[in-house]
């Protein structure tokens, strides 16, 4: 009798554990679906949530999303950053191109929007004279940005390459997700905020650090 009761208790505990694990997996899976849906439906959102003290930046852009995004046509999109705070700032920007297509059933499909490699879908004229591609998702401005000053444009045009797309891209729409981070130029706030306080050991981040470290101020 005790063995049966023990077995019954063991099975109940195991069933509860399995059920709890299923709930966790279901919630995680549902959250993943929500994140994917948000990524597919958000369009050209400007994010400027990173503020320290009275540091503040704004994204200024010129872009009229075309109703039809055709290949081999240069579409104008100018993106620059203004320092609207009271202090000098170091700036980095994430600018993520997004290509979507609405299907016949009303669903939205996210299409590859590569800008690098041997067969990029998009060509973007990134300004690598004033900015450095950190290869970590961000472009870093080479110079600290003074109060009320603007960066040079990060880029000015975008083109979809006919030679590297398929029929699937017909009717695609283009948008951008843009995020900017402004960091104090005090020594060494940018390392703490961007690289967990560490000094990069390889390029291009090492090159960026070499440029920024000679511009910091001691306080």
Same domain, 20 and 111: no
Q: What is the pLDDT of residue 68?
A: 79
State the virtual CA torsion across 63, 164, 124, 193 in degrees, nearest 10.
100
Q: Is residue 100 part of a domain?
A: yes
Tokens of 188: 């060494």
- CA dist 79 and 97 (Å) reads 13
The position carrying tokens 């995680």 is: 28
The position carrying tokens 């990134």 is: 126
Same domain, 66 and 172: yes
Same domain, 32 and 66: no
What domain count does the chain have? 2
Among 72, 70, 77, 100, which residue's Cα sits nearest to residue 174?
Answer: 100
Same domain, 18 and 51: no
Q: What is the pLDDT of residue 62?
A: 85
Backbone phi and psi for residue 18, each to the nearest 5 degrees, phi listed first: -65, -40
**Cβ contacts of 200 within 8 Å, gap of 6 or more:** 206, 208, 209
How many residues in total does the chain contain?
219
Q: Is residue 98 part of a domain?
A: yes
Backbone phi and psi for residue 44, each to the nearest 5 degrees, phi listed first: 45, 50
Same domain, 96 and 129: yes
Same domain, 169 and 199: yes
Q: Is residue 198 part of a domain?
A: yes
Per-position DSSP letters for 106-143, written without gaps between them: S-EEEEP---SSSS-SEEE---TTTEEE-SSS-EEESS
Same domain, 84 and 136: yes
Q: What is the pLDDT of residue 1?
A: 52
Q: Do 104 and 72 meet the contact criterion of CB atoms below 8 Å apart?
A: no
Q: Is residue 128 part of a domain?
A: yes
Q: Is residue 129 part of a domain?
A: yes
Q: Is residue 218 part of a domain?
A: no
Give the range of the structural domain holding residue 25, as residue numbers without chain letter. 1-41
Q: Is residue 219 part of a domain?
A: no
Q: Do 124 and 75 meet the contact criterion of CB atoms below 8 Å apart?
A: no
Same domain, 71 and 28: no
pTM of the model: 0.75
Same domain, 8 and 57: no
β-strand pairing of 46-50 with 122-124: unpaired
Same domain, 191 and 148: yes
Q: Is residue 78 part of a domain?
A: yes
Q: What is the pLDDT of residue 185?
A: 96
Same domain, 70 and 1: no
Three-class SS of residue 12? helix
Same domain, 141 and 58: yes
User: Mean pLDDT for each 10-residue chunk of the chain (219 residues)?
Assistant: 47 43 36 30 37 68 80 94 94 95 94 95 97 97 97 96 95 91 95 96 98 93
């Amino acid at each position: 009798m005790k063995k049966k009761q023990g077995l019954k208790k063991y099975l109940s505990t195991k069933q509860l554990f399995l059920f709890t694990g299923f709930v966790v997996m279901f919630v995680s899976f549902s959250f993943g679906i929500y994140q994917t849906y948000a990524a597919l439906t958000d369009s050209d959102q400007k994010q400027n949530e990173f503020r320290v003290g009275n540091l503040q930046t704004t994204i200024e852009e010129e872009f009229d999303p075309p109703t039809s995004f055709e290949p081999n046509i240069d579409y104008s999109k100018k993106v620059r950053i203004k320092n609207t705070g009271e202090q000098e700032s170091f700036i980095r920007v994430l600018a993520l191109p997004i290509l979507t297509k609405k299907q016949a059933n009303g669903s939205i499909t996210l299409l590859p929007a590569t800008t690098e490699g041997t067969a990029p879908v998009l060509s973007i004229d990134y300004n690598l004279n004033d900015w450095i591609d950190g290869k970590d998702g961000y472009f870093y401005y080479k110079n600290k940005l003074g109060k009320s000053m603007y960066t040079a444009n990060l880029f000015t045009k975008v083109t979809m390459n006919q030679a590297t797309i398929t029929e699937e891209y017909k009717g695609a729409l283009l948008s951008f997700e843009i995020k900017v981070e402004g960091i104090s130029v005090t020594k060494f706030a940018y390392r703490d905020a961007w690289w967990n306080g560490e000094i990069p050991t390889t390029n291009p981040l090492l090159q960026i650090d070499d440029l920024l470290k000679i511009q910091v101020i001691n306080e």
